[in-house]
Amino acid sequence: MSVADVTTVTRTATPRRFLMCPPRHFDVTYSINPWMNPAKPVDTSLAFAQWTELKNLYESLGHTVEVIEPLPGLPDMVFAANGATVVNGRVLGARFRHVERTAEGPAYLAWFTEHGYTDVLWPEHINEGEGDYLVVGRKVLAGTGFRTDPRSHAEAQEYFGLPVIGLTLVNPEFYHLDTALAVLSENEIMYYPDAFTPGSQEVLRELFPDAILATAEDAAVFGLNALSDGRHVLLPDAAVQLKTRLRERGFEPIGVDLTELLKAGGSVKCCTLELR
Ligand code: ARG
């Protein structure tokens, strides 16, 4: 499909349900990815204001946002995407790689059991939720290399009953799949090829030959940490070239400023867990 063919496409948004966690205890007090520098000050009230703007934006677009209470001592709990993976009401809990975040797994799982989810699995293997599991139509793309154990991919496939496609990340700056790849629709994605091993790049080309490829500049401002509702694509405002590419394909990019949360290595998608 050429760009000329796709500009005429009318994109339709579908209403979504998200789980978000207010950054009331957010800070950078340890470093578990190259973005985190505890010596660099974080404006925690600005972080809260930026997060609130994202939540308001979702609601103004007609989406529903559920909120989980943050726990003191868990500064990264704001990154709700890591709390679980939810497909067809089935909740695969998260088991974190680093001890600093371990307590978030049971905290998120408790939210689900308290909110009527009965199909809930406490996982055997390390997986960091939607940080590494991204659902595209009836498939699940699964990251590994830094956080999620590849053995978790088989566990997820068995639990969800959907094909899980493993992809290996190689660049520590893009330590979660959702920092290097974003789902745009039931069958479209955008990604940064250099974040993946050569074999994984081939797999992505095979499955998504028409994908939007991000430049190094856009990837570096976390442009791929984006959330699409099928029409609107919320992404870091600084990802200038991706916004142009998205417009060419008929999407409506909406730039969001989450600069304080970026100091912990997170942005739009990291703050958002989709409840399917
Ligand atoms: N500081 C957090 C960590 O390193 C950031 C998590 C970002 N979340 C995400 N879905 N990529 O674990």
Nearest to 145 by CA among 111, 191, 179: 179
Q: Does ligand 1 have an atom closer than 6 angstroms to the CB of 127?
A: no
Q: Output the pTM of the full model.
A: 0.96
The catalytically annotated residue of 21, 63, 232, 270 is 270
Q: Does ligand 1 have an atom closer than 6 angstroms to the CB of 82?
A: yes
What does the pLDDT read at residue 9? 83
Residue-wise pLDDT for 61-113, tens only, equals: 999 999 999 999 999 999 999 999 999 999 999 999 999 999 999 999 999 99
What does the pLDDT read at residue 7? 59
Taking the domains of the chain in order of start, what are their residue ranges?
Answer: 13-274
**Quick check: 43 pLDDT over 90?**
yes
Give the strand order in the sheet containing 90-93: 84-87, 90-93, 120-121
**Quick check: 3 pLDDT over 60?**
no
Report which ligand 1 atom has the smallest distance to the Cα of 179: 11
User: Would you list the DSSP string of 165-218?
Assistant: EEEEB--GGG-SGGGTEEE-SSS-EEE-GGGB-HHHHHHHHHH-TTPEEPPHHH
Contact (CB, 8 A) for 81 and 34? no
Residue-wise pLDDT for 160-216, tens only, equals: 999 999 999 999 999 999 999 999 999 999 999 999 999 999 999 999 999 999 999
Residues with Cβ within 8 Å of 7's Cβ and at least 6 positions away in sequence, in order, are 248, 249, 250
Residue-wise pLDDT for 222-248, tens only, equals: 999 999 999 999 999 999 999 999 999
E-state strands within 69-170: 84-87, 90-93, 120-121, 133-136, 139-144, 164-168
Known catalytic membership, residue 63: no
Mean pLDDT computed over every residue of the chain: 97
CATH 3.75.10.10 fits 13-274, yes or no: yes
Nearest to 128 by CA among 171, 83, 194: 83
Please name the residue whose Cα sits nearest to atom 1 of ligand 1: 264
d(CA 8, ligand 1 centre) in Å: 36
**Quick check: 5 pLDDT over 60?**
no
Residue-wise pLDDT for 248-270, tens only, equals: 999 999 999 999 999 999 999 99
E-state strands within the chain: 17-20, 64-67, 84-87, 90-93, 120-121, 133-136, 139-144, 164-168, 181-183, 189-191, 212-213, 227-228, 232-236, 252-256, 273-274
Q: Extract the tokens encoding 255.
A: 């730039």
d(CA 270, ligand 1 centre) in Å: 6
